Structure formats: structure tokens, C-alpha cells
């Protein structure tokens, strides 16, 4: 009988312990909740940072690929500028009188050079190469190279003459334009005032009676 009572007491104690165990677990979870929230916040912040870095890397790679495609013709285009300059010089060297009275053969040659020059610039334009002729514009050190300053009625800092045209490839300067820049109006020369009739000659007022 006593053994049965003892077993019954142990069973009740075990059941009581099992009933109290969830309460203990809940208390531990409540105690750990602030730490878990902080850890979760750190993980979320780290996840956002990794996602932002991945997006920036993707955009940077796409931009570099686009630039590589866009500016791949830089070296070739720069070499072709000498050809464009020579064609332009050849056309500029032909006097107007020679054009008007040119023979059929010479006229054909001139037309051929003009067509070649036109086609060359059209090809450069298709690949993003643009000619710049900045006369009348404000001097821009990113696109222009000033070789001389000239007194002019134009505002100071304005391009008054283009010595050699420049070229842009996209937004980059392929070759700066060589220009002359206005230094502003020349100073006005004033004539010296004429001496009056009553003005004394230097030294004439010296007393010589002493």
C-alpha cells in the first residue's frame, strides 16, 4: 500500500514538473527576445547591404560594357582625323576662280575630293564622332585649346577664330579645337591735351632779378 502511494506521488510530481516546463521555456524565450530581434535586424541590414552592392556592381559593369562599345573606335577615329584635315586643306587651297573655270578633268577631281570628304565625315558621325566649330562660343577648356588671345569687339573669353576644328566622340573630347580667344576691347588711346596760350613755359617764372 505504501509503495503504491509513493508511486502515485512520484507520478504527480513528474506531471507537475511537465506542466511547469512550458512556463520555463516561455520565460527563457521572453528573456532572449531582445537579443533575437537585434540579431534579426543585423541580418536584415546585412542582406540589404549585399543586395545594394550587387546592384551597384551590375550597373557599373553594364556602364563599362556600354562605354567599351561606344569608345572602341577611339584610336581609329583619331587616326582618321588627319585624313579629314588633309582633305579639308586640299579643298580650301582651290581658288574660287579655278573652280569656276576648271576643266572637266579638274572639275571631276574637285568633285571627287568633296564627295570623299563628305562621306568620311558621314562615316565618323555614324560612329559618334562629331566635328565642333566653336566660333562665337564661350571658351571651354574641356573642348578648346587657346593658342592666342586677340583684342576684339567680342566679349573677353569668346572664341573669335577657329584655327583647327575639334572633334568629340560621344561626350569625350577626341581632339580639342585650336582657337583664338578674344581678350576684350583694346584700350582707347586718348590724345594729350593741347597746352593753353596762357600756360607758362617751364622755367619762365624763375626770378632772374636777383
Q: Where are the alpha helices (DSSP H) in the chain?
A: 2-70, 74-92, 96-100, 104-126
Judge if 3 and 43 occupy the same domain.
Answer: yes
126-135, 139-148, 190-199: least confidently modelled range:
190-199
Quick check: is 194 in a domain?
no
Quick check: is 199 in a domain?
no
Quick check: is 18 in a domain?
yes
State the virtual CA torsion across 91, 93, 95, 100 in degrees, nearest 10: -20
**What is the average pLDDT value for the chain, to the nearest integer?**
80
Domain end point (choices 83, 101, 127): 127
User: How many Cα atoms occupy the beta-carbon half-sphere of 99 within 13 Å?
Assistant: 11
* pLDDT-based confidence at residue 206 (cuts at 50, 70, 90): very low
Judge if 136 and 114 occupy the same domain.
Answer: no
Judge if 119 and 183 occupy the same domain.
Answer: no
Q: What percent of the chain has pLDDT over 70?
A: 73
Quick check: is 15 in a domain?
yes
Domain count for the chain, please give it. Answer: 3
Q: How do residues 102-113 score in pLDDT, each as one tens digit?
A: 788 888 888 999
Dihedral of alpha carbons 185, 187, 189, 193, sign: positive
Residue 179: other Cβ atoms inside 10 A: 26
209: part of which helix (H) or strand (E)? Answer: none
Q: Are 168 and 174 in contact (CB under 8 A)?
A: yes
* pLDDT-based confidence at residue 84 (cuts at 50, 70, 90): very high
27-36, 153-162, 178-187: least confidently modelled range:
27-36
Quick check: is 111 in a domain?
yes
Quick check: is 205 in a domain?
no
Its domain, for residue 63, covers 1-70
CATH number of the domain enclosing 134: 2.30.22.10
| Residue 70 confidence (pLDDT) | 76
Quick check: is 201 in a domain?
no
Cα(152)–Cα(186) distance, rounded to whole angstroms?
7
Quick check: is 19 in a domain?
yes
Cα(62)–Cα(112) distance, rounded to whole angstroms?
43
**pLDDT of residue 202 exceeding 80:** no
Judge if 4 and 60 occupy the same domain.
Answer: yes
Cα(83)–Cα(117) distance, rounded to whole angstroms?
9
| Residue 24 confidence (pLDDT) | 55
Amino acid at each position: 500500500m505504501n509503495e503504491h502511494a509513493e508511486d502515485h506521488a512520484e507520478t504527480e510530481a513528474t506531471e507537475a514538473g511537465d506542466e511547469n516546463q512550458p512556463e520555463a521555456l516561455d520565460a527563457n524565450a521572453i528573456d532572449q527576445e531582445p537579443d533575437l530581434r537585434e540579431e534579426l535586424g543585423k541580418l536584415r541590414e546585412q542582406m540589404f547591404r549585399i543586395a545594394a552592392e550587387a546592384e551597384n556592381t551590375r550597373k557599373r559593369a553594364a556602364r563599362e560594357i556600354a562605354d567599351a562599345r561606344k569608345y572602341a573606335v577611339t584610336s581609329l577615329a583619331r587616326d582618321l582625323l588627319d585624313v579629314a584635315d588633309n582633305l579639308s586643306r586640299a579643298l580650301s587651297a582651290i581658288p574660287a576662280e579655278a573652280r569656276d573655270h576648271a576643266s572637266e578633268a579638274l572639275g571631276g577631281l574637285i568633285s571627287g575630293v568633296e564627295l570623299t570628304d563628305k562621306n568620311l565625315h558621314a562615316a565618323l558621325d555614324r560612329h559618334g564622332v562629331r566635328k565642333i566649330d566653336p566660333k562665337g562660343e564661350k571658351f571651354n577648356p574641356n573642348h578648346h585649346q587657346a593658342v592666342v588671345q586677340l583684342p576684339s569687339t567680342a566679349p573677353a573669353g569668346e572664341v573669335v577664330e577657329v584655327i583647327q576644328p575639334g572633334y568629340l566622340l560621344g561626350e569625350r573630347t577626341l581632339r580639342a579645337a585650336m582657337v583664338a580667344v578674344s581678350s576684350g576691347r583694346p584700350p582707347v588711346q586718348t590724345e594729350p591735351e593741347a597746352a593753353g596760350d596762357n600756360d607758362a613755359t617751364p622755367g619762365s617764372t624763375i626770378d632772374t632779378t636777383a
